[in-house]
Amino acid sequence: MILEEFTTRELQTECARALATMAATNNNIHQFNKQAHHNSHNWYKAVINWYVDQYGDIPSKTGPGKEIKLILEMEQK
């Protein structure tokens, strides 16, 4: 998967789905901060890559992320 081709909005929504599936602990969030160094795009990609390692594909396509309903998507319907 090539995250470089994702728009900023796509990165944000996939990242939001992934984050919604994990425990909100300091250690979980810190692991992504170490990889991103104050770069939001790198942070989104680190979260998505973690999710892909866990579940095999991006959150909108597989695993528990597929079941997450984002407010943004609900408003667009």
Distance between CA atoms of residues 53 and 39, nearest Å: 21
Domain positions in the chain: 19-76
Residues 26-77 pLDDT 10s: 998 899 988 888 899 999 999 999 999 999 999 999 999 999 999 877 666 5
pLDDT given for residue 10 in this prediction: 96
Across 6-72, where does the E strand assignment appear?
none
Are 59 and 65 in contact by the 8 Å Cβ rule? The answer is yes
pTM of the model: 0.89
